[in-house]
Amino acid sequence: MDRITSILLVMVAMTTISVSFVSAGGGPIYSSFNTPAKNIGNKDCSCKENSVLFLKEERATKLLSTFSFNTMAAKKSVPSLNQGDQDRLISEVVRFILVMDQKKYPIKKTEINKHILKEHSKSFPIIIGEVTKRFSEVFGFQLKELENKHKGSYILINELDCDSVDSHLRWSEIEDSKRGLLMVVLSLIFMQGNEITDCELWSFLSKLGIKLDQPHEVFGDCKKLITQEWVRQCYLEMTTVPNVDPPVSQIRWGQRAFLETSKRKMLSFVSKIYGIEDLSLWTSQWADVQDSEAVNEQSAENSGPSTSSQSR
């Protein structure tokens, strides 16, 4: 067990992945006090709600004066929503995403509509645009909509460089260890040609002392962590191969993995372990890196004008 821990520690130390966000300070505990406050006597409850409402109104008027310039364009297209309301909703959506992002599950448009926008759901496109801008300007995060089957879901990606060993972000020990294992899994998938079967993965992990049938000292239930948690967080994607018995699953990088790290970073990570400096020695992987970068550049050029107009 010591060996695997030390391997993982090395990997964590060299890890190049930049996981975008960590548990929000204060959120979790604070929330516990919402329930009791509502359960204790109606008198208490109603006055609390009133004061919150009042605060909201007050805040809205305050916001109106400070942020009115942001909403000039928006006001034209959605006349039913006044500037104050809109700014209040924008702030609430930002808060909502910050809190929800703690678990790193993609945040669905429907959730935002259900919990925050409610009857103003129609304004979602305008609001989310402004929210994206705020995240980038204030928090240094990119709010990114996922594609394909995850369309309509959003994740936060850190825009600041957090690749250095001595990162400004801090995780709990267990989070750090999990990130180390994630790095191992992602690099394995990449080195094997971007796709592996679950059997291949399990047999590789068993060499590191990670057994599927017994809980791991550090990671607990590894199968659950890999096939549920990381899939839900969009680090991995799993598909079942049709018409095969026993069933086989293919595991690939998920969208978050592509956004938070890159094939080049992954190859340099593996090269460091092997002590290789020249990345092009990995012929097929190197070609893959260059291909993916060419595709990225192209898509950046295509979407370039639209994003720049958005940020303005």
Q: Interface with other proteins by CB under 8 A: which residues?
A: 21-37, 40, 52, 55, 59, 63, 67, 87, 91-92, 94-96, 98-100, 102-103, 115-116, 137-140, 158-161, 166, 168-172
* Least distance from other proteins to the Cβ atom of residue 110, Å: 14
Distance of closest approach, residue 22 Cβ to other proteins, in angstroms: 4
Could you tell me if 96 and 112 are in contact, meaning their C-beta atoms sit under 8 angstroms apart?
Answer: yes
DSSP conformation letters of 253-302: E-HHHHHHS-HHHHHHHHHHHHT---GGGSHHHHHHHHHHHHHHHHHHHH
User: Nearest-5° angle of CA 269, CA 208, CA 261?
Assistant: 25
> Which residue, 69 or 274, has its beta carbon nearer to other proteins?
69
> Is the CB of 52 or the CB of 295 nearer to other proteins?
52
Residue whose CB is less far from other proteins, 156 or 205: 156
Residue 214: how many CB atoms within 10 A of its CB?
Answer: 9
Q: How far is the CB of 116 from other proteins (least distance, A)?
A: 7
Which C-beta is closer to other proteins: that of 114 or that of 211? 114
Pick 95 or 211: Cβ nearer other proteins = 95
Helix (H) or strand (E) holding 251: strand 249-253
Grouping H, G, I as helix, E, B as strand and the rest as coil, residue 134 is helix
| Residue 92: count of CB within 10 angstroms of its CB | 17
Q: Which residue's CB is nearer to other proteins, number 89 or number 270?
A: 89
Closest distance of CB 192 from other proteins, Å:
33
Other C-beta atoms closer than 10 Å to the C-beta of 251 total 24
List 153's β-bridge partners, or say none. 108
Q: How many CB atoms lie within 10 A of CB 139?
A: 17
Nearer to other proteins, 39 or 240 (CB): 39
Least distance from C-beta 103 to other proteins, angstroms? 6
Report the nearest approach of other proteins to the CB of residue 308 (Å). Answer: 16
Nearest CB to other proteins, comparing residues 24 and 276 = 24
What is the rounded CA–CA span in Å between residue 40 and residue 149?
Answer: 43
Q: Which residue in the block uniquely carries the two structure tokens 């394909």?
A: 148
- Name the minimum Å distance from CB 106 to other proteins: 13
The Cα–Cα gap between 297 and 309 comes to 18
268 in Cβ contact with 277 (< 8 Å):
no
How far apart CA 195 and CA 28 sit, in angstroms, is 37
